[in-house]
Structure 1
Amino acid sequence: MQATTTKTVIGHSLTDKVLLYGALPLAGVVLGFFLPRIADWLVGLRWFPRQRMFEVLATWDALWVGLGGMLVGLLGGLFLGAIALDDTLKVTITNESVEFLKNEKTVTVPRHKVTTAFLDGKEIVLLDSTTRELAREKHDQLKSEAHKIPQAFRRHGYPWTDNGDPHADRFRRWVEDEPELPPGANAVLKARAKGFDDGDKGKADLRELREEVAKLGYTVKDKDKKQYWRPNTPR
């Protein structure tokens, strides 16, 4: 976490960048250099699949092969580091707003709209005065570092609660054609349920359709590929 007098940044710290852009490329270089020897060892394991490919690699013991493997490993490590960093949530907190950045997508929440902020498991949640969720984003901080999140929000004057979701008891598990929901909300939740097993496209659909449910006056959250809902109204 990086903090100044004007803003606090959670995620994408210097340590994160050193680990991702240092450790991964280094591991790739080492792996590339020893690739022929690793292949030779795997050839001895007859149960290991793709033996023919490793037999060929084991014969590549020239210097250029090692150098080429190191270069490929270096580039591969940098590529994986960039992907990992892009998939890490970055939260920028100021006295005016909270900005969530992940996978090149930014969600900005103005400070004046936030009436409650809390952690729901590993998710940072911000609510407005009608109990509608302004943001629900999963953070990537280690358990030993998670305590700094409330500190950061309080530092900039946000109404943080340590008791978790004040409306947790209002959530109900969604079942198809839920009688207490209007047809439109049921239709969106039914379409949304299909996104859990669709990889990255499914994740995008889950987020987009959550916003559609919110427009209809309901909040939805996910747990173990199940949907839970509640109305966006004060008690």
Structure 2
Amino acid sequence: MQSKTVIGHSVTDKAILYGALPLAGVVLGFFIPRIADWATGLRWFPWQRLLEVLATWNSWWVGGVCMLIGLLGGLLLGAMALDDTLKVTITNESVEFLKNEKTVAVPRNKVVTAFLDGKEIVLLDATTRELAREKHDQLKSEAHKIPPAFRAHGYPWSDGGDPYEARFRRWVEDEPELPPGANAVLKARAKSFDDGDKGKADLRELRDEVAKLGYTVKDKDKKQYWRPNTLR
């Protein structure tokens, strides 16, 4: 048995991100002066003054500088894309989720159920509380490798998805079956869907706050669905 299994950040991913993107940047940089010369004939095209300047630079070093800028830009984009790709490291002792330099580690002995909810990997404990809910970046043709990876390290995998799916209810403001504290957090959370990266961070943080109150919340089409953590 392998000591660990890694999902994401494969050799192919790295080859594409650190090979194809920089190469594309170099090619684009090589053609920038020629593109600028062509675009100056399109008076509706923006940045005409800049394009005219670029078009008049015919020295060999101009192409070299543009290619270098394209190379560095491609490497930067590759690094950003790799950093934004979820890396899952599965061992017999724990599961680690790494994304955007943030790590979520879940001990194996706390995981009672593991499953896929759409493109999200979900781990539950004995009280049905979510220990982790992380969106993977695997292609549809590669997603089938996720369940065997967890099973290979002894994690109880649910092929049928969430065994408590039927218990989720759509949240409405001032939900009568929720305590005021939980409603307040969910109300604040509902305002975060359209706030970009800051909103994503708030959604995650406030989801953890809801969990501390004894409830699980998940999102679908910018709507919140909740259920109690304990079985009743």
Report the TM-score when normalising by structure 1: 0.96
Residue 127 of structure 1 corresponds to which residue in structure 2?
124
Partner Cα separation in structure 1 for residue 41 and residue 171 of structure 2: 53
Residue 93 of structure 2 corresponds to which residue in structure 1?
96
Partner Cα separation in structure 1 for residue 176 and residue 52 of structure 2: 63
TM-aligned CA deviation for residue 146 of structure 1: 0.3
Note the residue ranges of structure 2 that are not aligned, 5 or more in a row.
Answer: none
TM-aligned CA deviation for residue 156 of structure 1: 0.4
Which AA in structure 2 matches 1:147?
H
Partner Cα separation in structure 1 for residue 221 and residue 21 of structure 2: 31
Which AA in structure 2 matches 1:6?
S
TM-aligned CA deviation for residue 226 of structure 1: 1.2
Q: 2:142 is matched with which residue: 127, 136, 145?
A: 145
Residue 39 of structure 2 corresponds to which residue in structure 1?
42
Indicate whether 1:55 and 2:61 are aligned: no
Residue 226 of structure 1 corresponds to which residue in structure 2?
223
Partner Cα separation in structure 1 for residue 33 and residue 187 of structure 2: 51
**SS of structure 2 residue aligned to 1:148:** helix
Partner Cα separation in structure 1 for residue 186 and residue 143 of structure 2: 31
TM-aligned CA deviation for residue 13 of structure 1: 0.8
In the TM superposition, 1:151-190 aligns within 5 A as 151-190=148-187
Which AA in structure 1 matches 2:4?
K
Residue 80 of structure 2 corresponds to which residue in structure 1?
83
Partner Cα separation in structure 2 for residue 224 and residue 46 of structure 1: 42
Partner Cα separation in structure 1 for residue 113 and residue 105 of structure 2: 16
Give me the identity figure in percent: 85
Residue 21 of structure 1 corresponds to which residue in structure 2?
18
TM-aligned CA deviation for residue 138 of structure 1: 0.2
TM-aligned CA deviation for residue 198 of structure 1: 1.3
TM-aligned CA deviation for residue 170 of structure 1: 1.2
Partner Cα separation in structure 1 for residue 127 and residue 39 of structure 2: 61
RMSD: 1.1
Count residues in correspondence: 232
TM-aligned CA deviation for residue 54 of structure 1: 1.9
TM-aligned CA deviation for residue 62 of structure 1: 1.4
Partner Cα separation in structure 2 for residue 131 and residue 216 of structure 1: 14
Residue 68 of structure 1 corresponds to which residue in structure 2?
65
**SS of structure 2 residue aligned to 1:69:** helix
Runs of 4+ in structure 1 over 3 Å off = none
Indicate whether 1:12 and 2:9 are aligned: yes
Note the residue ranges of structure 1 that are not aligned, 5 or more in a row.
Answer: none
Partner Cα separation in structure 2 for residue 228 and residue 112 of structure 1: 27
TM-aligned CA deviation for residue 225 of structure 1: 1.3
TM-aligned CA deviation for residue 190 of structure 1: 1.1
Indicate whether 1:106 and 2:100 are aligned: no
Report the TM-score when normalising by structure 2: 0.97
**SS of structure 1 residue aligned to 2:191:** helix
Partner Cα separation in structure 2 for residue 7 and residue 67 of structure 1: 44
Which AA in structure 2 matches 1:67?
G
Partner Cα separation in structure 2 for residue 42 and residue 164 of structure 1: 53
